[in-house]
Structure 1
Amino acid sequence: FYYNHGYADFQVVSAVGELDEATNKYTVTITVQEGDRYNFGDISVESTIPEVDSKALESVVETHKGDVYNAKDVEDSIVALTEKVAGSGYAFAQVTPRGDRNFENHTISVVYTIDQGTKAYVERIEIRGNDRTRDYVIRREFDVSEGDAFNQVLIQRAKKRLEALDYFDKVEISTVPGSAPDQVVLVVDVVEKSTGEFSIGAGYSTGGDTPGPSVEGSITERNFLGRGQYIKLSAGGGRHSRDYAISFTEPYFLGRRIAAGFDIYKSTREYNHYDTDVTGGTIRFGLPITDSISTQLAYNISQEKYSIADGCVDANGNYDPSRCTISPAILAGVAESPWVKSSVSLGLVYNTIDDMKNPHEGLY
Structure 2
Amino acid sequence: MKKLYVFTLLFLLLIPQSSFGQDGKKYIINNIIVTGNTAFNASTIITYSRLKKGQEVSFGGDKIGEAVKKLWGSNLFGTIDIYFINITEDNKVDIEINLSDLPELNETKVQGVKKGKVDEILEENNLKQRVKVTENLITTTKNYLTNKYKKKGFLNTKVNVVTSDVKNDSIEKKRVNMFINIDKGNKVKIKSIKFNGNDKLSDKKLRKAMKNTKQKNPIRILKRSKYVEEDYKEDLVSLIDKYKENGYRDARVIKDSIIYNDDKSISLLIDVEEGEKYTFGKIDFVGNTVYTDEFLSQILRIEEGDTYNGVELKKRIANDEKPDGIDITNIYQNTGYMFSTINPVEVSADGNVIDLEIRITEGKPAYFNSVTVKGNDITNDHVIYREIRTRPGELYSRANIIRTIRELGQLGFFNAQAIVPDIKNPNPVDGTLDIEYTVEEQGSSQIELQGGYGGGGFIGTLGLSFNNFSLRNILNGEAYKPVPRGDGQSLALRLQASQFFQTYSFSFSEPWLGGKKPFQLSTSISHSRQFLFDPQTRRADRSRRFNITGITFGISTRLKEPDDYFLFSQALSFQHYDLQNYNTGLFTFGDGSSNNLSYTIGLTRNNTYNDPIYPTGGSNFSASAKFSIPYSLFNGVDYKALREERDGLDPVADIDRIGEIDQERFKWLEFYKVKFKADWYAEVAKKLVLRPSVEFGFLGAYNNDRGVIPFERFFLGGDGLGNFALDGREVVQLRGYPNQSLSSQDGGSIYNKFSLELRYPITLGQGAKIYALSFVEGGASVNSFRDFNPFNLQRSAGLGVRIFMPAFGLLGIDFGKPFDPLPGQTQVGGWETHFIIGQQF
Please indicate the TM-score interval, normalised by the length of the shorter structure. Answer: 0.5 to 0.7
SS at structure 2 position matched to 1:236: strand
The alignment status of 1:143 with 2:143, answered yes or no, reads no
The alignment status of 1:302 with 2:541, answered yes or no, reads no
Distance in 2, matches of 1:262 and 1:45, equals 60
Cα pair 1:92 1:149 within 8 Å, conserved: no
The alignment status of 1:355 with 2:591, answered yes or no, reads no
TM-aligned CA deviation for residue 252 of structure 1 = 3.1
Partner of 1:106: none
Which digits, 9 at most, give the CA deviation of each residue in 1:171-224, with x for residues without a partner?
232233389944433223323222211111112224xxxx42211121122222
The alignment status of 1:185 with 2:424, answered yes or no, reads no
> Which of 281, 298, 301 is residue 552 of structure 2 equivalent to?
281
1:52 partner amino acid: Y
Q: Superposition pairs for residues 210-225 of structure 1, below 5 Å?
A: 211-224=456-469, 225=485
The alignment status of 1:155 with 2:401, answered yes or no, reads yes
Cα pair 1:62 1:77 within 8 Å, conserved: no
The total of aligned residue pairs comes to: 310
Question: RMSD of aligned C-alpha atoms?
Answer: 4.5
SS at structure 2 position matched to 1:156: helix
1:156 partner amino acid: I
Distance in 1, matches of 2:586 and 2:323, equals 65
Partner of 2:113: 21
TM-aligned CA deviation for residue 353 of structure 1 = 3.8
TM-aligned CA deviation for residue 361 of structure 1 = 4.2
> Which of 235, 246, 255 is residue 495 of structure 2 equivalent to?
235
Q: Superposition pairs for residues 1-364 of structure 1, below 5 Å?
A: 20-23=112-115, 25=117, 28-29=152-153, 30=228, 31=231, 33=235, 35=239, 36=242, 48-50=287-289, 52-53=291-292, 55=294, 75-78=324-327, 81-82=331-332, 86=335, 94=340, 116-169=362-415, 170-177=418-425, 181-206=430-455, 211-224=456-469, 225-254=485-514, 255-272=516-533, 273-287=544-558, 293-309=565-581, 329-331=587-589, 334-335=591-592, 337-363=593-619, 364=679
2:587 partner amino acid: A
Distance in 2, matches of 1:252 and 1:47, equals 47
Counterparts in 2 of 1:146 and 1:171: CA distance versus 1, 3 Å: same
TM-aligned CA deviation for residue 167 of structure 1 = 2.0
Which digits, 9 at most, give the CA deviation of each residue in 1:60-109, with x for residues without a partner?
x698999xx795567322597358x73xxx66685859699xxxxxxxxx
Counterparts in 2 of 1:230 and 1:274: CA distance versus 1, 3 Å: closer
1:81 partner amino acid: I
2:425 partner amino acid: P
Distance in 2, matches of 1:359 and 1:338, equals 42
Which digits, 9 at most, give the CA deviation of each residue in 1:198-253, with x for residues without a partner?
111112224xxxx4221112112222221222222212111121212223333334
1:230 partner amino acid: S
2:291 partner amino acid: V
Cα pair 1:93 1:114 within 8 Å, conserved: no
Distance in 2, matches of 1:349 and 1:99, equals 42
Counterparts in 2 of 1:281 and 1:185: CA distance versus 1, 3 Å: same
- Farther-moved stretch of structure 1 (242-251 vs 134-143): 242-251
Cα pair 2:519 2:555 within 8 Å, conserved: no
Counterparts in 2 of 1:243 and 1:94: CA distance versus 1, 3 Å: farther
Cα pair 1:205 1:212 within 8 Å, conserved: yes
Counterparts in 2 of 1:234 and 1:162: CA distance versus 1, 3 Å: same
Distance in 2, matches of 1:202 and 1:155, equals 45
SS at structure 2 position matched to 1:220: strand
2:526 partner amino acid: Y
Counterparts in 2 of 1:112 and 1:262: CA distance versus 1, 3 Å: farther
Distance in 1, matches of 2:360 and 2:569, equals 39
TM-aligned CA deviation for residue 156 of structure 1 = 3.5
Partner of 2:812: none
Can you give the 5+ residue segments of structure 2 that lack an aligned partner in the other structure? 1-110, 118-147, 154-227, 247-278, 307-311, 347-356, 470-484, 534-543, 620-678, 680-841
Cα pair 2:379 2:488 within 8 Å, conserved: yes
Cα pair 2:527 2:547 within 8 Å, conserved: no
Distance in 2, matches of 1:93 and 1:190, equals 26
2:512 partner amino acid: Y
1:125 partner amino acid: V
Q: Which has the higher strand share?
A: 1
SS at structure 2 position matched to 1:77: coil
1:305 partner amino acid: Y
Distance in 2, matches of 1:328 and 1:153, equals 54
TM-aligned CA deviation for residue 271 of structure 1 = 2.5
2:578 partner amino acid: Y
Q: Percent identity?
A: 16
The normalised TM-score by structure 1 is 0.66
Distance in 1, matches of 2:528 and 2:339, equals 57
SS at structure 2 position matched to 1:75: coil
Distance in 1, matches of 2:524 and 2:284, equals 49
Counterparts in 2 of 1:268 and 1:73: CA distance versus 1, 3 Å: same
1:203 partner amino acid: G
Counterparts in 2 of 1:251 and 1:56: CA distance versus 1, 3 Å: farther
Cα pair 1:175 1:187 within 8 Å, conserved: yes
Cα pair 1:236 1:243 within 8 Å, conserved: yes
- Farther-moved stretch of structure 1 (249-258 vs 174-183): 174-183
Counterparts in 2 of 1:155 and 1:277: CA distance versus 1, 3 Å: closer
Cα pair 1:82 1:153 within 8 Å, conserved: no
Distance in 2, matches of 1:326 and 1:74, equals 59
Which digits, 9 at most, give the CA deviation of each residue in 1:302-336, with x for residues without a partner?
22222324xx9xxxxxxxxxxxx7779342x744x
Distance in 1, matches of 2:488 and 2:367, equals 28
Can you give the 5+ residue segments of structure 1 that lack an aligned partner in the other structure? 1-18, 101-110, 313-324
Distance in 2, matches of 1:360 and 1:327, equals 46
Which digits, 9 at most, give the CA deviation of each residue in 1:239-283, with x for residues without a partner?
121212223333334422344433332222122544232323251
